[in-house]
Amino acid sequence: MADTLGDKADDTSETVARSEDKQDAHPDESLTGKGAILSVLARAVSEPEFMSRLTQDPDETLKEYYTLTQEQKMALATGDIRKIESWLGKLDKRLASWLLSELGQDK
């Protein structure tokens, strides 16, 4: 089972890394659920301005991600790792630490 959790964390990290590598990290109309959450995380990692707006005005910042539920938007805005992991699977330590440091700093 530990291997399965490790594999899931690696898969999630690789997916976010691939999203970071894309030229356009902005929302795609076809993104829903997991894809939209990964898109927000990738954009937050690569665009400090987006990250700043996300913590200051999450509703306005995530407006263009209209496929996200209110619960998903709140989890992303507050860095609720447990909720995010319930949708994506276990985050790797690097991404989890980044979320805690970036989103936890204003708390």
- Predicted confidence (pLDDT) per residue in 60-87, tens digit: 999 999 899 999 999 998 888 899 999 9
Global pTM?
0.67
Q: Distances from the Cα of 54 to the Cαs of 6, 102, 106, in angstroms?
A: 29, 11, 12
| Domain assignment of residue 36, given as a range | 2-104
**What's the pLDDT band for 104 if we cut at 50, 70, 90?**
low
Q: What is the C-alpha separation between 32 and 9, in angstroms, rounded?
A: 20
Structural domains counted in the chain: 1
Indicate whether 10 pLDDT > 60. Answer: no
